[in-house]
Amino acid sequence: MTEPADAWVQMCEQLAATGRRLLADDFPATPEDRAEGFRHLARLTVMALQSHLEFADVDFPAFHRYDDDAVKWGGPNVDNHYLRARIDPTGTYLITGCVDGTRDLIVSTHEGDMALEQYGVYAERQLADLEVDATGTLRIVLGGPQPPGHQPPGNQPPGNQPPGNWMPLAPEATIVMIRTYLADWNADGVAWFDIERLDRDVAPTRADSAFVGDALERAGAWVERSVDYWRRYLETSPVRHVVNRLTPPRSAAGGSDRIRYGAGWWELSSDQILLIEFDAPNADYWSFQLYSTPWFESLDVRNRLNSFTGASAAVDSDQRIRLAVGPSDPGVANWLDTEGRPSGMVSYRFVGCDNPPAPIATVIDGSAALPETMVRLDPAARTEQIRARRRGIARRFHR
């Protein structure tokens, strides 16, 4: 056991060393990149302390939000609400929530975090797998004995009702995660969830020395590992060499089986645009969005246009979808704003799509060379497009 005072000093020393690590040659050195790097370090510290200290009690768990418009880690989907809670795999838990108006969600149990080389994903349910009452109330039992006659999703005979709302807990599971999807930030339902442990009849105690000391140790180590993990993840990814092109859609380690991902690297001069084209997919949800490197964060989602979904993207008259990635406004509706960054990652997701299209990317010299079929937008309409985005963030996160 590490005493809290010693653990605090150790964590602060780790954070200081990690900050010095950001000054090394394998991290970018421009003033803007270094400013973003230290902001990234601060954001990781917030998430680590929430995950390992404030929300780490497996007897009295609670969901905490992360990967929103402010706390970013590991390439978040800007259209998701991410919630997680710590669990004891030997326990039994009840999740209660309201999903009225929710487009879709995924509930899953995990071994831990990719930055710690913990990739295990165990039980998983989507909204269609779960029974929801007429008021939009959802209840899910995690762990404990399997209910009589329970059939996991995909195993029930045709025509049967959805399986009961029970999910097993693998011995390695330490986290339950909920992702809700909001393709339309101003209209889709914003769900809420609570979690309680059912197999313990104890009262919460005051802060415990061993618990706090261990939590601070884990938080410092998590931040240290995360900074280097995501830099290596991006630099060693095959996507790093897919310049001004996109990989075909595929599943990802540590991700959901229902999601197909693709990505590429943009490298553009100030007057170039990366044009992305694909047929409108038959999907429960799809999106394209931009990420900074090497931090693997979403860009400024409140004040700039750096993501589109099936609910927000304009569709051309030939039923093709075209997106323009570039540093300055090209006057088209589907502009993905790079914030002037000469390079970065563009990523896409297709959820619940049996035959996802393979997007094509082409470098265009100037907005005048963009296809005439693309939907145009004047400055007044652009201003309103961004205002709607800010209102959507305020609605989702109560900003």
pLDDT band at 162 (very low <50, low <70, confident <90, very high): very low
Give the model confidence (pLDDT) of 359-372 as tens digits. Answer: 999 999 999 999 99
Within a 13 Å sphere around the CA of 128, how many CA atoms are in the beta-carbon half? 6
pLDDT band at 163 (very low <50, low <70, confident <90, very high): low
Alpha-carbon distances, residue 306 vs 92, 170, 212, 312 (angstroms) = 41, 38, 39, 12
Q: Which of these, 336, 353, 217, 331, lies nearest to 285 by C-alpha position?
A: 353
Predicted local confidence at residue 254, as pLDDT: 59
pLDDT at residue 160 tops 80: no
Q: What are phi and psi of 193, to 5 degrees?
A: -145, 150
| Domain residue ranges of the chain, discontinuous segments joined by + | 1-57+204-229, 82-201, 238-397
Alpha-carbon distances, residue 4 vs 11, 102, 211, 222 (angstroms) = 10, 42, 9, 17
Task: Answer whether the bond into residue 28 is a cis peptide, omega within 30°.
Answer: no
What's the whole-number mean pLDDT along residues 128-154? 87
What's the whole-number mean pLDDT along residues 44-48? 98
Query: What pTM value is reported for the model?
Result: 0.91
Which own/partner pairs from 327-330 qualify as long-range (CB within 8 Å, at least 24 positions apart)?
327/268, 327/270, 328/270, 329/382, 330/273, 330/367, 330/370
Give the model confidence (pLDDT) of 338-385 as tens digits. Answer: 999 999 999 999 988 988 999 999 999 999 999 999 999 999 999 999
Domain 238-397 architecture? Sandwich (2.60)
> Apex CA 167: angle with CA 226 and CA 350, to 5°?
55
Q: Residue 303's CB: how many other CB atoms inside 10 A? A: 14
Whole-angstrom distance, CA of residue 167 vs CA of residue 183: 27
Share the mean pLDDT of the chain. Answer: 93
Are the CB atoms for 53 and 216 separated by under 8 Å?
Answer: yes
DSSP one-letter code for 152: -
Residues whose CB falls within 8 Å of the CB of residue 269, separated by 6 or more in sequence, listed in order = 342
Give the model confidence (pLDDT) of 186-239 as tens digits. Answer: 999 999 999 999 999 888 989 999 999 999 999 999 999 999 999 999 999 999
Predicted local confidence at residue 258, as pLDDT: 78
pLDDT band at 152 (very low <50, low <70, confident <90, very high): low
Whole-angstrom distance, CA of residue 92 vs CA of residue 162: 21
Predicted local confidence at residue 1, as pLDDT: 74
N-terminal to C-terminal alpha carbon distance within the chain: 39
* Residue 181, strand partner residues: 80, 104
pLDDT band at 153 (very low <50, low <70, confident <90, very high): low
Give the model confidence (pLDDT) of 105-131 as tens digits. Answer: 999 999 999 888 888 999 999 999 999
pLDDT at residue 69 tops 90: yes
Whole-angstrom distance, CA of residue 336 vs CA of residue 322: 11
DSSP one-letter code for 162: P
